[in-house]
Amino acid sequence: MGQLRPPCSVAAALLCFSLVTAACTGERVGGEKTAALHAIITTTSAAPTTTPPTTTTTTTAVPTPAPTAPAARRRVLETGFRPFLTAGGDVTLNYPAQRVERVGFHESNRLGARDLEVMSDAGAWLDMPTRDRNTPGRTAADIVSEPDREVRVPVTGTVKRAGTYTLYCKYTDSYAVIEPDGHPGWEVKVLHITGLVVLTGQHVEAGVTPLAAHPTRLPFKSQVEDYGAAPLWPHVHIEVVDPTIKNPPGVGGNGCN
């Protein structure tokens, strides 16, 4: 009896096994070398995300400008040349100008200057800081008046003298001195006036008789102008003096202030 052959299906299975084994060992069936199978692994790397540089914008706030103070409004009193001050109880002084902004009180440079009292219906006035004259603070009055307008006599009486003098040792100014009917012997002094129209010995009437063409515009800023509206107005100076009272040393300043 001849040798039995394996069935075809068994032979095929053995052939498949040999092929698989050869693939794993790198050999062909029958012992021949074969190229090894290489697995190519493709790795996909995600491209790095590029973050654009951050741009920081700094906004500097522009400060809001402080509000500008409105220009001071000038308040003007229409005086009618009426009375507004008294001195010693028997001397009455009238406004020397028709239109007045205010009255500023300060120290006279004469110890004999009398205190001035404000009447109840007077307009705007103030007491100004000391001038270091060692005299009372309300012994002289600066009446801020409309420029280029007539100045009238402030007291009824007789003109004792009038003319020009040197102000603060360097400036030329005009003045008038009137002896009041209400107190003979005293003197009402009026300064800072231009264009005198009165004469020595002339009897004058308060608020009626013209005294000068207009107030003097001084070539420097006066103390009372610190309180005025622009454009600044000039002023007329008035004081009432007892000339029998003389200045002792150290009173009244040095004559140039």
In a domain, 47, yes or no: no
The answer, yes or no, to whether the previous bond of 215 is cis (omega within 30 of 0) is: no
| Residue 236 host element (H or E) | strand 235-241
Which of 94, 98, 99 is CA-nearest to residue 119? 94
The pTM of this model reads 0.71
In a domain, 142, yes or no: yes
**Contact in structure between 20 and 14 (CB atoms under 8 Å):** no
In a domain, 249, yes or no: no
Q: How far apart are CA 225 and CA 148, in angstroms?
A: 17
Question: In the structure encoding, which two tokens stand for residue 257, read together?
Answer: 């202030």
Place of tokens 């040393």: 249
In a domain, 248, yes or no: no
Which residue range(s) make up the domain with 113? 77-241
Where would I find the beta strands (DSSP E) of 82-170?
83-87, 91-94, 99-106, 116-118, 125-127, 140-145, 151-152, 157-167
Q: Check which CATH number belongs to the domain holding 96 and give it.
A: 2.70.70.10
Q: Which residues contact 21 (CB under 8 A, 6 or more apart)?
A: none
In a domain, 246, yes or no: no
Q: Which residues contact 145 (CB under 8 A, 6 or more apart)?
A: 96, 97, 99, 100, 101, 151, 215, 233, 234, 235, 236
Percent of the chain with pLDDT strictly greater than 70:
71
Buried b (16+ CB within 10 A) or exposed e, 206-221: bbebebbbbbbeeeee
Q: How many CA atoms lie within 13 A of 78 on its CB side?
A: 0
Number of domains the chain is built from: 1
Q: How many CA atoms lie within 13 A of 216 on its CB side?
A: 24
What pLDDT is attached to residue 139? Answer: 97
Per-residue pLDDT of the chain (257 residues; tens, 9 = 90+): 444 444 444 444 433 344 334 443 444 434 444 444 344 334 444 445 555 555 555 555 555 555 544 557 899 999 999 999 999 999 999 999 999 999 999 999 999 999 999 999 899 999 999 999 989 999 999 999 999 999 999 999 999 999 999 999 999 999 999 999 999 999 999 999 999 999 999 999 999 999 999 999 999 999 999 999 999 999 999 999 999 999 998 887 766 76
